[in-house]
Structure formats: C-alpha cells, structure tokens
Structure 1
Amino acid sequence: MTEHDDDRPRQPGRTVARSDPGRAMAFSDAVIAIVITVLVLDLRPPDTEPGGLLAGLLDEWPTYLAYAASYVYLAVIWLNHKAAFTRIREMDIGLQWANLGILATLALVPWPTAVIANTARTGNLADERVAVALYAIIGALLCLSWLVFFSYLARHPDLTHDHVDDDYFAHERPRALIGVLLYLAAGAAGVFIHPLVASVIFLVLPVFYGITSHGYDQGPSFLRRGAGSAKSS
C-alpha cells in the first residue's frame, strides 16, 4: 500500500478492519480453477458396441456444447473478477461476503451443465426444457451476485484505488442487471418456445461479458460512447 493510498479519505464512522485483497484473489482463483476442472468430469466415453465409437462420440455433441459454453462462461467470469480486483485497494467484511457470494454461485455452474448434458442424451423435450430453465436460474443468480458486488463497491469507493473513478462500479451495475434479465428471458424462451433458443442466449452472453470484461471504459468504442452518455446525463 502506498503512502498516497493511505491518505485517501475513509468513510466517516467506519472503524472496521480492512485487509489486502491479495488473499481473496488467490482464494477466488483457486475456486474458479477447481470449478472449471469439475466440468471435465461429465465428459465420459460413450457406451458403444465395437466399431461404433465414432458414432457414439458424435452423438455426445450436446455434452461437448454444454461443456464449451460453461467453460467459456467461467473463463469470462475469471477475467471480470481479475479486472474488478485490479481496482480494489483493500477489503472490508462486507466486500468479503459479496465476493464469497460470487464464488458460491459460480460453484453451482457444473450442476446445471451436467443436467443439460444428461437430458440431451435422453432426447426428452420436457426434460430439456426443465434443464435449460435450471441453467438460466443459476446464471441469473450468478449475475445477481455480481450486482451485489458492484453495488457494494459503488457505495464504498474508499475501498478502491485512487485512480478509479468513484462512479466506476456504479456504471458496472447495468452489466450485471442485463445478465439477470437475459438469463431469465432465456429460461422462459427455453420453456415456452424451444430449448435451442435458450442455448443460443447462453452462448451469446459470455461473449458480451468477455468483450466488456475490463468495463465499458476499455471496451469497444460503441460501449464507451454509451457509458459516456450515461455518465453525462
């Protein structure tokens, strides 16, 4: 911690202990690495007769798709998490719990991924609708945990580095809210229209969060213009 950081004013009346974010980052990285590894456990060899291995492998394509989508999603979460923590100078107990909330929800991702893979093998449309709805609920909860995380930092700018705009995390909240709404919409589309519609949204959302993983201020020009307009209004 630099002398300049020590001089940053704290919120009046707050005497709670603060800690360096290094341990939280290391713990979070370990959890994300374990969760990504768990995803692989559902990639099992197909049960086929001799000579039918190729056909059996090709029939497992829904499993590969579910793994790829969840892996990319978790990778993007790691990028977003890393980008957020480069702006955090110190942590209090509230921010610790907000971070643990993100880890608790992302640890659930392998569960709906496995459910989608297993129901795809059966070919039962009713079960597939339930599976995508479950995935959508977990995705929405994960985005909601990010909304809580961003909102806490928006209310406590004294926890961030001096070079970070005090409104930065307030402007990050719409990204999380978009995810909550789109995951719920994807679940509804999967139930009332077709599971493939939900699957397309599940694939598109990580792309959006990957593009904006370092925030609107470092994303594509059209996102920066939109963020700038919102800030000036």
Structure 2
Amino acid sequence: MMSSAPGSSSSSESRPSLLLVDDDVELCRLMRLYLNRAGYQLTCSVDGRDGVAQALSGAYDLMLLDVTLPLLDGFEVLRQTRRSSSIPTIMLTSRSLSADRLNGFDKGADDYLCKPFEPEELVARIRAVLRRSQAPKQEVGWQSFGAIRISESSRQVLSAKVEVDLTTVEFDLLLMLSRAGGRVVKRDALTIAIQERKPSFFDRSLDVHISHLRAKLGRAGAGIQTVRGVGYLLATGDPTALRPAATEEYVR
C-alpha cells in the first residue's frame, strides 16, 4: 500500500520530471500521489505508442515502463526509444521471469523492478538511476584505450574514430573498467556500482550489459575481456591476450 512518502521542499520547477508508461489507471493515480510527495513530477501515458512519443519529447529525466501495454509492449517501446534517446529507464512489471528481465536489459533498460514492489524501493532505485545519469563530470579531455577513446566530461565514446551511443549503464561500466588500468574488476563491484545493490546468485544483467557494450564497440569490444569466475577487464594494449596485471584485483 502506498502510504506516506518522504517530503520535499523543492519547487515544481526543480523537481525531476518522470514519465510512467502503464495502462493501470489506478496505479498511475497512486504513484503520482506518492512520487509527488517524494519530490518528483509524474506524467502518465497509458499506451505504448504515446509512451514512445512522450519519451522522445525530451521533457523527462527518467521513464518508468510497464511491459504489458496496448498498441506496443514495453520492450518495443524501449527498443524504439533507444534508437534516438538514452533516457534513463526503469521497467516496472509483473513479469518476473529471468528471460523477461534479460530482455529488458537487452533492450537498454537501466533497472528492472517486479510488481508488486515497495514504493520506498522504487524511490531508492529512481534516485540511484538519476544519480548515475546526472553525475558531475570530473575529467577533462579524452583518454585512449587502444581504438577506444573516452571523454568523461562529455560522456562520449569513440570506437575506431566513430562515436558510439551508449546507455548510462554501458558508459558507467566502460568508465569503471577504464579506471582499473588493465586490472580485473570483480563482478560484484561492477554490479554494485551500476545498480547500487548486491546481485543475486542468478542475476545475469551485468553480462547482458557487457555483451551490449562489446557489440556497440565493434572490433574494439574484444578489449573487454572476461576473467571467468572473477569479473571483467579492459585491456589497455593488445586485446587478444591478457596482460600480467590482469590477475590483480582492482581496488578503487
């Protein structure tokens, strides 16, 4: 039950603007009340086609997306949205099968929360995703890792001199791997960094994000190497072989 929510003294102009795409009108009403008290502005869309149009409008900081929708399902909404927008997206759905979760991440979701959920957990996840997507930029200029070039200040990535469109999660993963200097970053450390919680034993969402990242980087994606049973590394030299430093644990 959605009861009290954390208060906020922010004006409506400074509140993050959220889009909820869900055909459950009562849920939309309750979530609007709760999230408004938590300091957010919420707009609801009740079908997939309108959801795509709203998501591409540039008016929202984050999208909450159901899977079972009229006209277009949530996976198709996200697929079409990702063609030209990297709007942070949390999928909210009663479909809890691992295949559905992986499909959501495969289409570009930043997080996936199964219904029913505690509203406090939803707010925590919204904050985490927004924090990652709006993180202050610290580095200036470009850093090179073989054919991969990364600008932290502009959150841009080039692969073989061609700009690559990455989601927030994909960029953060690549940045974390690049900061490790060719050493292994453990799976748990990567998952906690991008989701701000420990992964479950059967959670394969990290592997889906890494697979997407490799594919988007093209041939340079081979530089992201799997160290079985440990984690991943970004090779700083020849991507076809592990460097000796790859056996070291990365400590931030």
TM-score, length-scaled by structure 2: 0.28
Greater length-normalized contact order (CA 8 Å, ≥ 6 residues apart): 1
Q: Which has the higher strand share?
A: 2
Q: Which has the higher helix share?
A: 1
TM-score, length-scaled by structure 1: 0.29
